[in-house]
Amino acid sequence: MILPRRRFLHLAAAAAALPTISHIANAQGYPSRTVRIVVGFPPGQAIDISARLMAEWLQQRLGQTFIVENRPGAAANVATDMVARSPADGYTLLIVSSNNVINTTLYGTVDFAREIAPIATFGRGYQVLNVNNSLPVKTVPDLIAFAKADPGKLSMASPGIGSAGHVAGEMFKMMTGVNMLHVPYRGSVPALTDLMSGQVQVMFDNLPSSIEHIRAGRIRALAVTPATRSPVLPDVPTIGESVPGYVGGGWSGIGAPAHTPTEIVDLLNREVNAALANPKIKGRLENLGSPVLMMSPAEFRKLIAEETERWAKVIKFANIRPE
């Protein structure tokens, strides 16, 4: 049967609109079943605890089950790749961090900015520049002078090649011109153990894993890496106070597969930001060493672009290669 031209055009337009209408309808009914939140790190870490706080909050607010699923491996690339390949329907979410933007350049496998839609940030992570107590330095300028007086003498530990602590240290070397030997470990615990014993002298580490050793006097904190001082170490300066332009530190948040409906992204953003405004949730995140960071999806996307560019320069300068 041959359809009249006008009727054919009407039917074609209606057919073309069906996926969009269905997409919007699904978004308006979201969530109607269990939502998975994938974490690329083992249980018990600060980022995993943050994910579980948010899952509990979202479950209470949205009336559906939100489960946390740990998929560690390849510096969170395993989890990121899995979520990137999942349907863009809001039922598989990803806990994201500054590791993801580092991985984009370091591994070149998952283009994080293209394959993951940013939803909301949770908190700003602090890293701290620690030294062994026997090292005769009290400030960042002292450390720079000591390292330049005897290039290559100091060893700089990190939780692993390409970790946030590693690239923070390499940026310090790039911006100050000091020469320190990088010694990678498999995680913060063995690196901190050797820092305390004097096997290595310097370490850039996440504040939550270092804070108790700093408070106990087992290591000395010279500075923190972000642009602002840490609320839990208010007397410790930022590196930027001595090295103008230095800004490091991490962040955490939540994302979804690219092309997830805007309605779902906006709904989840509103709910996460409501959690961050809740004194109980805010306090628990701050106790993990993570002051809350509240952003819109657009602001989060801008942060990702800026951080990807920042760390790409450091990785290329230091010629960092994955293990």
Q: In angstroms, rounded to a whole number, what is the distance separating the alpha carbons of residues 198 and 99?
A: 28
In which band, very low, low, confident or very high, does the pLDDT at 27 lie, cut at 50, 70 and 90?
A: low
Q: Is the pLDDT of residue 242 over 80?
A: yes
Instruction: In whole angstroms, give the CA distance from residue 89 to residue 306.
Output: 27
The conformation of residue 75, written as its DSSP 8-state character, comes to G
Residue 273: DSSP 8-state: H
Retrieve residue 99's tokens: 């590791």
What pLDDT was estimated at residue 140? 98
What does the pLDDT read at residue 241? 98
Can you tell me the mean pLDDT for 130-150?
A: 97
- Locate the domains of the chain by residue range: 33-125+249-318, 140-241
Mean pLDDT of 163-183: 96
Residue 97 in 3-state DSSP?
Answer: strand
pLDDT of 294 > 80? The answer is yes
Cβ burial of 253 (10 Å; 0-12, 13-18, 19+) is: buried
Quick one: how far is CA 269 from the chain centroid? 17
How confident is residue 287, by pLDDT bands cut at 50, 70 and 90?
confident
The residues, any chain, with a CB within 8 Å of residue 13's CB and separated by 6 or more, are none
| Mean pLDDT computed over 170-183 | 97
> For residue 312, what pLDDT band results from cuts at 50, 70 and 90?
very high
pLDDT of residue 202: 98
Q: Which CATH architecture has domain 33-125+249-318?
A: 3-Layer(aba) Sandwich (3.40)
Mean pLDDT of 66-76: 91
77-100 confidence digits (pLDDT tens): 999 999 999 999 999 999 999 999
On the question of a cis peptide bond just before residue 19, with omega within 30 degrees of 0, the verdict is: no
Q: Is the pLDDT of residue 25 over 60?
A: no
For range 101-128, the mean pLDDT: 92
Residues ≥6 apart with Cβ < 8 Å to 187: 159, 160
Q: What percent of the chain has pLDDT over 90?
A: 75
Q: What is the CA radius of gyration of the chain?
A: 23
Q: In this structure, which long-range contacts are made by residues 227-233, counting pairs with CB atoms below 8 Å and at least 24 apart in sequence?
A: 230/126, 230/128, 230/289, 230/291, 231/286, 231/291, 232/207, 232/286, 232/289, 233/128, 233/207
- Element housing 209 (H / E): helix 207-215
Displacement of CA 130 from its chain's centroid (Å) = 21
Beta bridge partners of 38: 69, 94
**pLDDT beyond 80 at 39:** yes
pTM of the model: 0.84
CATH number of 140-241: 3.40.190.10
Note whether 33-125+249-318 and 140-241 share their fold. Answer: yes
Q: What pLDDT, on the 0 to 100 scale, is given for residue 295?
A: 97
pLDDT tier at 7, thresholds 50, 70, 90: very low
User: Where does the pLDDT of residue 46 fall: very low under 50, low under 70, confident under 90, or very high at 90 and above?
Assistant: confident
pLDDT at 16 > cutoff 70: no
Q: Does the CA dihedral 266-267-270-272 come out positive or negative?
A: negative
**Residue 320 has what DSSP assignment?**
-
Question: Taking residues 211-234, what's their average pLDDT?
Answer: 94
Contacts of 57 (CB under 8 A, 6+ apart): 271, 272, 275, 278, 281
Average pLDDT value for residue range 199-203 = 98
The whole-angstrom separation of Cα 178 and Cα 243 is 12
